[in-house]
Amino acid sequence: MKTLEDYVRTIPDFPEPGIMFRDITTVLQDPDGLKLAIDSMIHLLNGIDFDIIVGAESRGFIFGAPIAYALGKSFVPVRKKGKLPCDTISEKYDLEYGSTEIEIHKDAILPGQKVVLVDDLIATGGTVEASIKLIERLGGKVQKAIFLLELAGLNGRERLKNYDIDAVLSYEGK
């Protein structure tokens, strides 16, 4: 029986020398790998009381929506600026080489609702931190953030030390 690690492809020196790129397309393209990934992420939510799953564009959609479906919860997307059709709030944050902005619908989360944030990867924690700020500005309470992969060498968990952060797989380095 294959483990989740068996489905993750590692590509050395991509996108630059010294980086070990963890490719999850090999997880997604195999039915058993995808099921194992979703089931493993659901397992991280055992004992967590929550109302809504928020997924960050775009790979947070891939994992967040089926988790929400399996657990009978609603799903709320956080999208890149300009992609949502109704009234939104936005949050800017820094990337390695610049900055970007994400948005959420103003009516997506009601004050006091308990939220789980889902994405494929935690690296520096910038996208997650910006998503948390959006959720909290709407009055939501972040119960936990879960990820398929963590790049521990980029210290995203430390940046988000005031939150319950969990990942199915953790890799040292970048």
Catalytic one among 5, 16, 96, 150?
96
Report yes or no: 96 and 87 within 8 Å, Cβ to Cβ.
Answer: no
Which residue in the list 5, 22, 57, 59 is annotated as catalytic? 59
CA distance 124 to 154: 5
Pairing, β 20-23 against β 9-12: antiparallel
Is 96 considered catalytic here?
A: yes
How many whole angstroms separate alpha carbon 52 and alpha carbon 136?
13
For residue 166, give the amino acid letter: D
Q: Report CA-CA distances (Å) from 108 to 51, 53, 91, 156.
A: 12, 11, 15, 26
Helices (H) and strands (E) in the chain, counts: 6, 9
Residues forming the active site:
59, 96
